[in-house]
């Protein structure tokens, strides 16, 4: 049986300095441990063909499918504020692009498929744990409607990788609208290659923002569009308690997708200063800092585009600053609208943000669980009974005081209690990929070759807004001894 990928390779058709042509490094005994069959179908692939030994070899990089044009993409990036002029795909290889059932072009990339010219002395491999983490979190984000890269497959290679100790090696097949990053533009801008910056901008417009081709001035329109998508994306992260953990410019997607799930995590107890990443020593990428960092990253993108905005440097800078000034309003609009939905408010009032912030402050003071508070608030809106949500607060009097204001605000709107509850339950998930659950899944897989916990967690997270009584324990915050305080890149 021949596995067919209907590849098109538009990025590989760009000039040779945009990438390095390199094939994946073969592995000995690849074994498919997870295939995302619905996603395969959406991509126009045959899951039955992929779910074979031949499919496993392709998904591990042991063999190449017909039509693949494997490349490692070049990019630079600011990592924790420090510029590195050459990074690139050090352990990832883009096989090619397919057009999905919606007519959208998608990259198919192998992550952990061996060294490339950008590996910087790394082995180009991935350990099983980080592969499972990215599979779980990216698919959970997709189920919650957050723009994200997707996971098509996870394959165990049959070969160990050396980190602090020997660990099972694995390869993730990642699907993205594209893998073009702010850092991709920085790679060429740092070299003074304005022609390449313009070529890349034209490619991005063609691929992600085709409506801008008709714009009188497409490059400022591109900057504005990317700013808007990033503002909305980061607002949506905050609304579900997500912390990316490593918001470097090379991890900022031009398409507006969440990309590169390294030390990412979801908050349990609400605290705006929460940091999980073991390498974020100073809290640069803390939960509440993410909007500020997004704007910082977008400013770096704007710097790359300056020569395309105007031949007059001062005019270009002034226009870029003006466009960047729209980020704050775009973020605030998306964030405030999201908070109103989480509180069950259908209309807008001037003091709604104060009401929402008062709840968040009360949650922070009490250490109340972020996800569980909003989920129980959804049910409280349908019952008129606050008992279950107030139980999350050690000192419930502060919540009670807030709830009086909330109930009064709800009374200003005509929707029924059940309408409000139903609406709130579509934005306040019951289930998120809690860190202790992910760690338990990884431990079972790495040390016992047991993927049943992985499969069960994926099944639960595929329906995040449903109650699923048989899996109710997955909604619970960790017990003190289960808390995960640090997450790791796993590179």
Annotated catalytic residue: which of 89, 107, 250, 268? Answer: 250
Distances (CA, A) of 473 to 390, 431, 432: 19, 10, 12
101 burial (CB, 10 Å; 0-12 / 13-18 / 19+) is exposed
Q: What is the predicted pLDDT for the residue at 105?
A: 97
| Euclidean distance between CA atoms 325 and 285, whole angstroms | 21
The pLDDT value given to residue 127: 96
Question: Cα(100)–Cα(40) distance, rounded to whole angstroms?
Answer: 9
The total of other beta-carbon atoms located within 10 Å of residue 29's CB is 12
What's the gap between Cα 143 and its chain centre? Answer: 12
How many whole angstroms separate alpha carbon 374 and alpha carbon 430? 9
- Asked whether 9 and 19 are in contact (CB, 8 A), the reply is no
Q: What pLDDT score was predicted for residue 121?
A: 85
pTM of the model: 0.97
The three state secondary structure string of the chain is CCCCCCCECCHHHCCHHHEEECCCCCCCCCEEEEECHHHHHHCCCCHHHHCCHHHHHHHCCCCCCCCCCCEEECCCEEECCEEECCCCCCCEEEEEEEECCCCCEEEEEEECECCCCCCCCCCCEEEHHHHHHHHHHHHHHHHCCCCECEEEEEEEEEEEEECCCEEEEEEEEEEECCCCEHHHHHHHHCCCCHHHHHHHHHHHHHHHCHHHHHCCCHHHHHHHHHHHHHHHHHHHHHHCCEECCCCCHHHCECCCCECCCCCCEECCECCCCCCCECCCCCCCCCHHHHHHHHHHHHHHHHHHHHHHHCCCHHHHHHHHHHHHCHHHHHHHHHHHHHHHHHCCCCCCCCCHHHHHHHHHHHHHHHCCEHHHHHHHHHHHHHHCCCHHHHCCCCCHHHHHHHHHHHHHHHCCCCCCHHHHHHHHCCCCCCCCCCHHHHHHHHHHHHHHCCCHHHHHHHHHHCCCCCCCHHHHHHHCCCCHHHCCCCECCCC
Confirm if 140 and 165 have CB atoms less than 8 A apart.
Answer: no
End-to-end CA distance of the chain: 35
pLDDT given at position 490: 62
Q: What is the pLDDT of residue 4?
A: 86
Residue 1's pLDDT is 57
pLDDT of residue 3: 83
Residue 250 a catalytic site member: yes
Q: Consecutive sets of 10 residues in the chain, 491 residues long: mean pLDDT of each?
A: 86 98 95 98 97 96 95 97 96 97 97 96 94 98 98 96 93 98 98 98 98 97 98 98 97 97 95 92 94 98 98 98 98 98 96 98 96 97 92 94 97 95 98 97 97 98 98 95 76 49
Q: Using CA atoms, how far apart are residues 345 and 366, in angstroms rounded to an integer? A: 24
């Amino acid at each position: 049986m021949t596995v067919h990928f209907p590849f098109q390779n538009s990025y590989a058709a760009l000039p040779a300095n945009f990438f390095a042509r390199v094939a994946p490094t073969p592995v000995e005994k690849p074994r498919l441990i997870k295939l995302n069959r619905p996603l395969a179908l959406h991509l126009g692939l045959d899951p039955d063909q992929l779910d074979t030994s031949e499919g496993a070899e392709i998904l591990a990089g042991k063999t190449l499918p017909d039509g693949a044009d494997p490349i490692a993409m070049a990019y630079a990036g600011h990592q924790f504020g420090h510029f590195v002029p050459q990074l690139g795909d050090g352990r990832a290889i883009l096989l090619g692009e397919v057009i999905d059932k919606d007519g959208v072009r998608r990259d198919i990339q192998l992550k952990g498929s061996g060294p490339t010219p950008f590996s910087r002395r790394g082995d180009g491999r991935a350990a099983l744990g980080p592969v499972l983490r990215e599979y779980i979190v990216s698919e959970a984000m997709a189920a919650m409607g957050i723009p994200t890269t997707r996971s098509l497959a996870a394959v165990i290679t049959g070969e160990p990788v050396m980190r602090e100790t020997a660990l099972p090696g694995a390869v993730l097949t990642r699907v993205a609208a594209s893998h073009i990053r702010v850092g991709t533009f920085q790679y060429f801008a740092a070299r003074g290659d304005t022609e390449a910056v313009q070529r890349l901008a034209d490619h991005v417009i063609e691929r992600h923002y085709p409506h801008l081709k008709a714009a009188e001035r497409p490059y400022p329109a591109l900057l504005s569009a990317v700013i808007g998508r990033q503002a909305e994306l980061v607002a949506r992260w905050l609304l579900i308690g997500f912390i990316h953990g490593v918001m470097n410019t090379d991890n900022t997607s031009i398409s507006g997708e969440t990309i590169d799930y390294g030390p990412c995590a979801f908050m349990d107890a609400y605290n705006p200063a929460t940091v999980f990443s073991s390498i974020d020593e100073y809290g640069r990428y803390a939960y509440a800092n993410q909007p500020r960092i997004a704007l910082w990253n977008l400013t770096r993108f704007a710097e790359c585009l300056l020569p395309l905005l105007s031949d007059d440097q001062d005019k270009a800078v002034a226009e870029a600053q003006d466009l960047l000034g729209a980020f704050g309003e775009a973020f605030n609009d998306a964030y405030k609208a999201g908070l109103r939905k989480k509180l069950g408010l259908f209309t807008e009032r001037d003091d709604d943000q104060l009401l929402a912030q008062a709840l968040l402050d009360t949650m922070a003071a009490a250490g109340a669980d972020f996800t569980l508070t909003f989920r129980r608030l959804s049910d409280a809106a349908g019952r008129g009974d606050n008992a279950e949500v107030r139980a999350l607060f050690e000192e419930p009097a502060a919540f009670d005081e807030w709830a009086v204001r909330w109930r009064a605000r709800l009374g200003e709107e005509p929707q029924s209690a059940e309408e409000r509850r139903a609406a709130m339950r579509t934005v306040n998930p019951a289930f998120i990929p809690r860190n202790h659950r992910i760690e338990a899944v990884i431990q079972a897989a790495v040390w016992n070759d047991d993927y049943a916990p992985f499969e069960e967690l994926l099944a639960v997270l595929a329906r995040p807004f449903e109650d699923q009584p048989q899996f109710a324990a997955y909604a619970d915050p960790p017990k003190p001894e289960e808390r995960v305080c640090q997450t790791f890149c796993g590179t």
